[in-house]
Amino acid sequence: MVSPKICVPKLIRKGSLPVNGKSGYQRGDSQKGFTLLEIVVVMAMLAVIAGLSMLVGMNSYRSGSFRNDRDAAVSMLQRARAQSINNVCRGSSCTDGKPHGVRFYPKGNADDDKFIIFQGVNFHDTADDALVDEPAQFSSFTVYVDSSTTDPIDIIFDRLSGNLLNAASTSLILKDEAGNTSVIDVNSEGRISWTN
């Protein structure tokens, strides 16, 4: 049995005839590079990749900002509880320790999305020695207790024990525009827990 011959055309220089006698376009030595179509396809692929990476990057940034603000709120609660347990008292009129708490301003309040640490059994925004820190602003989320209230929320810890002074337990719901949600729970013994 005889095997058939396979004819492979040879590349020749531009301007000369192919070996088999037919003329046709052949890329010669002087025609190196990319076609316009190849460049456009590569640019389109790079644009799609850049768009997807920006989308993922923005979601990561929003989620990170939300977690930072949530952690700041939890940190303020932990600090207020620690100051209550340690019987801390600030100001010239203070001779014995006082309870400490955090006031949260929910969405819809005139000072919405702010929080502040204070000392005493009640929040007094006019007393110089009542405020432990300047009010801080949440940058990425809104505080909710329930949908019907815009009144400020005070979470106050009792001296020495750190138990909640003003309620059996409290929950704060934190939400942002991207759909991130976290719940901060404080039980009657002052234990602070949170989700996400």
For residue 22, give both structure tokens. Answer: 């037919």
- Is the pTM higher than 0.95? no
List, as one string, the DSSP characters of 67-94: HHHHHHHHHHHHHHHHHHHTT---STT-
Would 21 be classed as within a structural domain? no
Q: Count how many domains the chain has.
A: 1
Q: What's the CATH code of the domain at 142?
A: 3.55.40.10
Would 132 be classed as within a structural domain? yes
* Sequence-separated (6 or more) residues with CB below 8 Å from residue 154: 101, 102, 103, 122, 123, 166
Would 80 be classed as within a structural domain? yes
* CB neighbours of residue 78 within 10 Å: 14
Q: Mean pLDDT of residues grouped by 10 in the chain (196 residues)?
A: 58 52 55 88 95 86 84 90 88 79 77 79 67 64 64 88 86 82 90 90
pLDDT of residue 15: 52
Domain containing 162: what range? 67-88+97-194
